[in-house]
Structure 1
Amino acid sequence: MSLLHVRNVSHRFDYLLFDNVNFALAPKESMAILGVSGSGKSTLMHICSTLLKPNKGDVVLCDHHIYDDNEDTRLKLRRYDVGIIFQSHYLFKGFFANENVELASVISDKTMDHTILERLGIAEFMHYRVGDLSGGQQQRVSIARVLAKKPKIIFADEPTGNLDDKTAQEVMNVLFEYIEKENAALLLVTHNQHLAQQCTYVRYLHVDGLSKEG
């Protein structure tokens, strides 16, 4: 059973970005997508996570052909089943950190595992306003917010970009442990070869699609 199945996906702007992308992710699997800047890694992630319709191809997410179904289906997937970690944290800056996380839990009707806050090293900062946190702390709060939803699949776009190597590894450990425990899947965009190699699959994005070679 696949949580995500991408079939012959192509996308272009004024030029061809990538063509004929195919892959699948099952529960407890992770995939790292590498590629040069501008190769379309973030665009591919947006397509897979319901945010951008491809020019061609099909995306099946949690048994839904997401671009054949209506917008209500995509909204429900984003509310309950999909967790997206962006390069920018997109936290509500006027809120406290704990309010950002708790709001995600309430909206998705899930009960959060609060030990994740300890594992991410942010438990002591949860009663700080977002604007009083460092960039790395804000990023970890955004990751906690995603995990509070208990999604079936996590899309993570450079989730450790603002973190030092030690903290980055700790964050990735939390994500890997989560997908194992919750039978979820992880699609990771990263420039970090060391973190990428810890995933079930490593793929490189080229104009001709995904490959195993750099």
Structure 2
Amino acid sequence: MRVLHRVPVPADLLPPWLADALAGEPWPAFHPPVVSAALQQVEAARRLPDHDSRLLADVTDWLQERLTLFADDDLALVHGDLHGSNVIVHQGRVTGLIDFAEALAQPADVELDTILRWCARAREYPPTPDEQGLDETTLTEVPRWLHGAYPELFERGHLRERLNFYDMYGELALHAHHAQPPVRAAAQDRIARLLSGHNHLDGLVW
């Protein structure tokens, strides 16, 4: 990751599917976060016939209060979908990354969004659709290991709030664009929980 994040990248780099989705086309996937498009996801959610206007007003205020956390960021080339199935391990060592379909220019700590969600909810990340994801208890030490291996990734001020912002973006994208109503409803519940200060990060230690 450190090598990847040092690759020069144009500030407007987006995968074509994501650029199309942000322009109004259907969403084939719902990550990675794009900080500058967060409020756009709120507007998309407001177009849902059954939207919760009070909740979305609170989300708008919540996002606007935190956008200043990203004002001075340098952008890096980020993988955008880092979890166990996209990491190559050989003889106990991480030797490579695969699947760059979501690579884009964002702050480097965006990588932590998917990695830490994988650690907390690994069963949702099966290696193939017909297999089961890992037991989360087997990944307890991964955040500490990553912090030791790449401490710069964790050095941003207000890191937890930044990570919460990335999480809010992902939940908003699901809520606004997913084709299945139960998935949208579950995302809305997680949005409400995040507004109260809680999400999947609560049980992780790095």
* TM-score of the two chains, using structure 1 as the length reference: 0.28
The structure carrying a bigger strand percent of its residues is: 1
TM-score, normalised via structure 2 length: 0.28
Higher relative contact order (CA 8 A, sep 6+): 1
More helix by share: 2
